Amino acid sequence: MENSRFSEGLKKLKEIDGTAGQKVIDSLQVIAPDLAKYTIEFPFGDIYQRKGLDLKSREIATIAALTALGHCLPQLNVHINGALNVGCKPEEIVETIIQMAVYAGFPAALNGMFVAKEVFIERGIIKA
């Protein structure tokens, strides 16, 4: 039986990421089902449930962090899609990534922007 952290986390994950988050969770089942469970329970069952920030703000913060890290491009793709799903405007996402050029450097910002471009093309926001 699923605990409430897991069930609430899974609900929040679907609200933000639609099927993309579920695909990540499903892909872990064969090798690390506990990691899949922790990925739902902690970030989405605990942190994303907090009242201090709305989902748009949380996704902007996540895009900034993943861009700054520079080596999380698949996760950045998921969260750019998630940000759009919860109402962030493409311009907000672009500005967040540009801001990271100051703090994380141009290579990280460029890599992040190329991920945003890919997502925007896939979603028909811009043309290739």
Distance of alpha carbon 71 from alpha carbon 108, whole angstroms: 8
DSSP state of 49: G
* Predicted pLDDT of residue 1: 43
Rounded CA gap, 103 and 24, in Å? 29
What global pTM score does this model have?
Answer: 0.93
Say whether both 66 and 127 belong to one domain.
yes
User: For residue 40, what are the domain limits?
Assistant: 1-50
**What was the pLDDT predicted at 74?**
94
Give the pLDDT of residue 25.
86
Quick check: 23 pLDDT over 90? no
pLDDT value of position 51: 96
What six digits make up the tokens of 113? 């922007």
What CATH number corresponds to the domain at position 119?
1.20.1290.10
Q: Is the Cβ–Cβ distance between 19 and 49 less than 8 Å?
A: no
Q: Are residues 36 and 85 in the same domain?
A: no
